[in-house]
Structure 1
Amino acid sequence: MVEGKDDVSAVKRAVDADVIITSGFGINDSIMERIRQAAKKRGVIIFTDPDFAGERIRRTISEKIPGCKHAFLPRELGTKDGDIGIENASPESIREALLKVKTEVRRERDEFTMDDLIKNKLTGSPMATKMRDIVGRELGIGYGNAKQFLSRLNRYGITRDEFEGAIQKAKELVE
C-alpha cells in the first residue's frame, strides 16, 4: 500500500507485488475497504513516504485496520532534489525496506522506556538525531523524534538483543 502512482511504479521496479494506492490523504471508504479485504486475504504492508504526511496516512490506516505490516524507507534514500517520496528510491533501497518489514503488535509493550533512549544517547545528546536515524534504519522502523521512536520500539516488537545490536553498530558509525 503506497500513496501515489509514482510510488507504485517505483515499487514494481523493485518487486513483483500487488499495490493499492491511497491517493495521499484522499483515502475514501472504497480504498479503505480494498485495504481491509487485502489485509484479511493476504496481508498488507503499509509503505508510505518518509515525511509527516506519510506518517499520518500510516497511522490512519493502522488505527482502522489492525495487524498491518510496516515498511520504512530512510528519508535520505527517498529524497531527490528536495522531494521526499518512495518514488525517488532505488529498487535496492525499496527491497531493503521491504525485507525489514515489521508487524505491529496487538497491544503495545513497555519493553523500552525513555531511560533506554537516554542511556543510549538516543535523546538528550548532541548526537541523538543521528543515533536514532542509524538505529531506526538498522531495525527497519524508520526515523522519528524520541517519543515516536520509543513508541515504534515497543509497537513493532523489537527485542532487547536487536536493539543492543543496532546501538552497537550506530556507536561504531558515529564515533
Structure 2
Amino acid sequence: MIKEVIVVEGRDDITAVKRAVDAEIIAVGGFGINAKVIGRIKEAQKRQGVIILTDPDFAGEKIRKIISKRVQGVKHAYISKDEGLKDGDIGVENASPESIISALEAAKFEVKEKRCEFSIQDMMYFGLCGNNKSKENRDRLGKLLRIGYCNTSQFLTRLNNYGITKDEFIKALEIIDKENENGKK
C-alpha cells in the first residue's frame, strides 16, 4: 500500500488510480476546492504525506498550484498529455495503470504495510454504524479527528490509512461524550 494520500481531481480519477495501486485517495472536485477539502489534505500531509496527481492540462495545473500554495511539502506526480489522452479528452482517468504507477514512482512514494488497527466491530461497538445516531456520531468524530464525514466503510478505511491511533480515537470519543453530557453538539 502507498503510504502517501493521493490527491486527484474527481471520481473517475479515483477509479483509475485504484486500478493501478492500493492507496487512500482524496478527490478535490475540480476548481471548487473548499476549506474543508484543504483541511483534509493538510491533515493527510501531516499524518502520511500527500502526492498530487492532476490532469495534464491548464485546469489540472491550476488545481495543483492552489493545493501546493496552501499545503506545504506535498509531492507531485505527473502523467504526460499523451498518457492521459483518449478520444480527444485529457485526464488521469484515461491513463493506463502502468502510466499512473510510473508517475507515482517518479514522485518517490513510500510503501507501508496495510494497517488494520480498527475493524467493523469497533465501528459497531462505538456506535459508528448500526444505529440511528451512527451518521451523526461519524460526522462529529470525523470533525474532531480531521478526517471528514463519510459512510462506515470509508470511515474505517480513513481511520486505518491516516494512522489514527486508538488513543486519539478514544480521546475524541471522550470529548463527544462530555459534550453530550453538557447538552452540546
> TM-score range with shorter-chain normalisation?
0.5 to 0.7
Gaps of at least 5 residues in structure 2 are 1-6, 110-185
TM-score by length of 1: 0.58
Which residue, out of 97, 114, 119, partners 2:103?
97
User: Percent of pairs identical after alignment?
Assistant: 59
User: Hey, what's the Cα distance between the residues in 2 that align with 1:82 and 1:21?
Assistant: 23
Relative to the length of structure 2, the TM-score reads 0.55
Cα offset, 1:24, TM superposition: 0.5
Is the partner of 2:8 in helix, strand or coil? coil
Aligned-pair distance for 1:59? 0.4
Q: 2:69 aligns with which of 58, 63, 80?
A: 63
Assess if the C-alpha contact under 8 Å between 1:7 and 1:86 holds in 2. Answer: yes
> What is the DSSP-based 3-state SS (H/G/I as helix, E as strand, rest coil) of the residue aligned with 1:20?
strand
Partner residue of 2:79 out of 67, 73, 80: 73
1:99 partner letter? E
Residues in 2 aligned to 1:75 and 1:97: alpha-carbon distance in whole angstroms: 12
Q: Is the 8 A contact 1:70 1:102 kept in 2?
A: no
Matched, 1:27 2:33: yes
State the partner residue of 1:6: 12
Cα deviation, 1:74-124, whole Å, max 9, x if unaligned, reads: 110001001000000000010001000169xxxxxxxxxxxxxxxxxxxxx
Counterpart in 2 of 1:139?
A: none
Amino acid at match of 1:35: I
Secondary structure in structure 1 of the residue aligned to 2:9: coil
- Which amino acid in the other structure matches residue 86 of structure 2? K
User: Which amino acid letter does the alignment assign opposite residue 65 of structure 1?
Assistant: V
| Amino acid across the alignment from 1:4 | G
Relative to total residues, which structure has the larger helix share, 1 or 2? 1
Q: What residue in structure 2 maps to residue 83 of structure 1?
A: 89
Gaps in structure 1 of 5+ consecutive residues: 104-175
Per-residue deviation, 1:60: 0.5
**1-side partners of 2:65 and 2:90: how far apart?**
18
Q: Which has the higher contact order (CA 8 A, sep 6+)?
A: 2
**Segments ≥4 residues shifted beyond 2 Å:** none
Q: Which has the larger radius of gyration?
A: 2
RMSD of aligned Cα (Å): 1.2
Alignment: residue pair count: 103
1:39 to 45, 55, 76: 45
